């Protein structure tokens, strides 16, 4: 198993839980965490024993964004004063790795998600928030823009006009406001957050994993292609699924009126 900096990684019952682990900084993103984040998600995506991924934060915050304390101290991301010339592996950056992950990703929003942290939360497939959860689009108040996927994600999730309102005003959305906008799927009490998230993850993990991953790939591609192109791509994904053991098990379980036992083969 890989060693991750500023992250906790655990796999149990086909569910990988990735926890950002800088609670003293509200899980603000450090340079080492950026690298660990991408490696952890790639490891989970490639692990045949993992069917669902949960992303959360340690302590009372989900993620406070890039670590501005490190930046002002001259030790953080982009603190060399020449950020534009820095060599970044954008293809391997957390937002792109998260977007390309085929396994379903559930965000357990345990506290505030600001800036980069908000983009990471929006990049997950499903978001379950505690009543302490917040989405803070504070980029314009810091002199930057949603640099980690937010400009692509937010308009698709809430529409152009509402996304413009949130981003241009630098709004901080409560868990309830996020629920009303459709930015989170459910809001629960803090003590119930991980239990409810695990229940959702367990239900997803009980389904055929290859089918779930193919569905996510086709939904992702469908955001940028025509209906006709997506129908053709879906058909090409369907053909190999017909040849899987899981397809045969699904049909057999239906005929026998029992719950299927999928193996991912």
Q: Are 129 and 109 in contact (CB under 8 A)?
A: yes
The residue among 124, 109, 102, 115 whose CA lies nearest residue 50 is 102
pTM of the model: 0.90
Amino acid 228: pLDDT:
95
Classify domain 7-205 at the CATH superfamily level.
2-enoyl-CoA Hydratase; Chain A, domain 1 (3.90.226.10)
C-alpha gyration radius of the chain: 19
CB 56 within 8 A of CB 105: no
Domain limits, CATH 1.10.12, in the chain: 209-256
CATH T-level assignment (fold) for domain 209-256: Lyase 2-enoyl-coa Hydratase; Chain  A, domain 2 (1.10.12)
| pLDDT at residue 88, rounded to an integer | 59
CA distance 245 to 262: 8
What is the location of CATH 3.90.226.10 in the chain?
7-205
3-state secondary structure 205-256: HCCCHHHHHHHHHHHHHHCCCCHHHHHHHHHHHHHHHHCCHHHHHHHHHHHH
Task: Quote the pLDDT of residue 17.
Answer: 98
User: How far is the C-alpha of 161 from the C-alpha of 259, rounded, in Å?
Assistant: 44
Task: Quote the pLDDT of residue 140.
Answer: 85
Report the chain (265 residues): mean pLDDT per 10 consecutive residues.
85 97 92 90 96 97 80 50 56 89 98 94 98 94 83 95 96 97 98 98 97 96 94 94 96 95 95
């Amino acid at each position: 198993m890989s060693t991750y900096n500023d992250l906790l990684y655990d796999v149990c019952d086909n569910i990988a839980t990735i926890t950002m682990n800088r609670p003293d900084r509200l899980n603000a993103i450090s340079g080492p965490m950026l690298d660990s984040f991408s490696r952890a998600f790639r490891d989970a995506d490639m692990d045949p024993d993992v069917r669902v991924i949960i992303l959360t934060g340690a302590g009372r915050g989900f993620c406070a964004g890039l670590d501005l304390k490190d930046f002002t101290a001259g030790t953080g991301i982009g603190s060399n004063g020449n950020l534009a010339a820095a060599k970044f592996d954008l293809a391997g950056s957390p937002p792109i790795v998260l977007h390309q992950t085929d396994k379903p990703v559930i965000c357990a929003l345990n506290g505030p998600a600001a800036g980069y942290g908000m983009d990471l939360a929006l990049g997950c497939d499903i978001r379950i928030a505690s009543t302490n959860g917040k989405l803070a689009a504070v980029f314009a108040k810091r002199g930057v823009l949603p640099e980690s996927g937010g400009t692509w994600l937010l308009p698709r999730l809430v529409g152009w006009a509402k996304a413009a309102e949130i981003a241009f005003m630098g709004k901080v959305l409560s868990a309830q406001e996020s629920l009303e906008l459709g930015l989170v799927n459910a809001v629960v009490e803090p003590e119930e957050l991980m239990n409810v998230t695990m229940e959702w993850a367990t239900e997803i993990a009980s389904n055929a994993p290859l089918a779930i991953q193919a569905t996510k790939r086709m939904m992702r591609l469908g955001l940028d292609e025509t209906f006709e192109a997506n129908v053709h791509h879906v058909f090409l994904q369907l053909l190999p699924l017909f040849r899987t053991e899981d397809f045969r098990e699904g049909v057999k379980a239906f005929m026998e009126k029992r719950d299927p036992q999928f193996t991912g083969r």
